[in-house]
Amino acid sequence: MANRVFAPAKINLTLHVTGRRSDGYHLLDSLVSFAPVGDWLTVAPGDGLTLEVSGPEAAGVPDDMSNLALRAAALLAGHEGAALTLEKNLPAASGIGGGSADAAAALRGIATLSGEIPQGFLELPDLLMHRHAERILGLGADVPMCVLSHPLRARGIGERLGLVTLPDIAAVLVNPRLPVPTPAVFKALETRDNPPMPDTLPEFPDAASLIGFLARMRNDLEAPALKVEPGIRAVLDALAGQGGCGLARMSGSGATCFGLFLSEDDARAAAQALTEAHPGWWVASGVLGDCSELALPRPQ
Ligand code: C5P
């Protein structure tokens, strides 16, 4: 039976670059949450592996084996094959996990196709990570966290994951439609041994306490991304200038930035204002938090 799988956007609330491995990959310490804004993947039984891409952000997204969703599907599909249909709503190469979220959705969808997989809270991602951790990481450093789609702290190159409890928080996501290649941003990084976050994270009784903590932390890729793409500055400034915005920061290696708000109404108003002022920008709003249930495959 076919299923439909949601691929939520990944948001790096913080991203500290704390070192570099001998293979060139960077060591990170990142607090990550997920947005109820994302792509939709339909996974159906099929002959061989096929992918069709549609949706508002489909332009330029490959439908061959260079697409991470197809590569992920190939990991688990075995001889049965699968037909994937991807509705692309997240801009590509934008620091919010797009391709990684699609790959993770493909893994959840294919695993469910076989009918053997439990459907309970986090059971499916746990099982996938338990059986295939190395191969999933091999798809990309952000794929394991997208498999979980639950707030977490990521260390190592993104494979050491610890679930965290975070208060829900309203956010506006803005991408200026300037694709930024991740390797170029890491290359432009000047300091690679920045301090990590505190070993023990404080408790966050409410969204205000979370914003206060985040404001003292960093995204170490923001400065190098601004060098690669100076247009990101206008996005950060526009978000910070919205009424009720408590923090404006870039996610991942950019160019998508997010603004955090204590009030959902303020976030919605900000999204509306930004859409009107910048018709060329991609703008979305939603409450960041646990998207693990939302990301479970549902029968179609
Ligand atoms: O793993 P992924 O394919 O997402 O990474 C893309 C590129 O980003 C890598 O080739 C590498 O240049 C850089 N990267 C890194 N350290 C990480 C993750 C990514 O240097 N932890």
Tens digits of residue pLDDT in 185-235: 999 999 889 999 999 999 999 999 999 999 999 999 999 999 999 999 999
CATH number at residue 258: 3.30.70.890
Q: How far is the CA of 70 from the centre of ligand 1 (A)?
A: 19
Q: Are residues 97 and 16 in the same domain?
A: yes
Query: In this model, does residue 79 exceed pLDDT 90?
Result: no
Total of domains in the chain: 2
For this structure, is 10 an active site residue? yes
DSSP conformation letters of the chain: --EEEEEEEEEES-BEEEEE-TTSPEEEEEEEEEEEEEEEEEEEE-SSEEEEEESTT-TT---STTSHHHHHHHHHHTTT-EEEEEE--SPSSSSS-HHHHHHHHHHHHHHHHTT-S--STTHHHHHHHHHHHHHHHHT-TTHHHHHH-S-EEEETTTTEEEE-----EEEEEEE-S----HHHHHHT-S--------SSPPP-SSHHHHHHHHHHS-BTTHHHHHHH-TTHHHHHHHHHTSTTEEEEEE-TTSS-EEEEES-HHHHHHHHHHHHHH-TTSEEEEEEEB--TTTTS-EE-
Of 142, 165, 188, which residue constitutes the final position of a domain? 165
Of 136, 165, 194, which residue constitutes the final position of a domain? 165
DSSP conformation letters of 244-259: TEEEEEE-TTSS-EEE
Q: Which two tokens stand for residue 20?
A: 């570099």
Tens digits of residue pLDDT in 139-166: 999 999 999 999 999 999 999 999 999 9
User: What is the distance between the alpha carbons of residues 230 and 210, in angstroms, rounded to a whole number?
Assistant: 28
Question: Band of the pLDDT at 122, cuts 50, 70, 90?
Answer: confident
Tens digits of residue pLDDT in 224-270: 999 999 999 999 999 999 999 999 999 999 999 999 999 999 999 99
Query: In this model, does residue 296 exceed pLDDT 90?
Result: yes
Q: Are residues 124 and 207 in the same domain?
A: no
Domain around 152: 3-165
- The ligand 1 atom nearest the CA atom of 24: 20
Q: Are residues 226 and 161 in the same domain?
A: no
Q: Are residues 30 and 48 in the same domain?
A: yes
In the set 142, 220, 266, 290, the catalytic residue is 142
Q: Are residues 179 and 157 in the same domain?
A: no
Contacts of 212 (CB under 8 A, 6+ apart): none
Q: Are residues 31 and 50 in the same domain?
A: yes
Q: Among 20, 186, 193, 219, which is best to mutate for testing ligand 1, by the most ligand atoms less than 8 A from CB?
A: 186
What is the complex's ipTM, to 2 decimals? 0.94
Tens digits of residue pLDDT in 41-65: 999 999 899 999 999 999 999 999 9
Record the pTM: 0.96
- Residue 215 · residue 175 · CB < 8 Å: no
In the set 10, 39, 88, 266, the catalytic residue is 10
Q: What is the pLDDT of residue 120?
A: 66
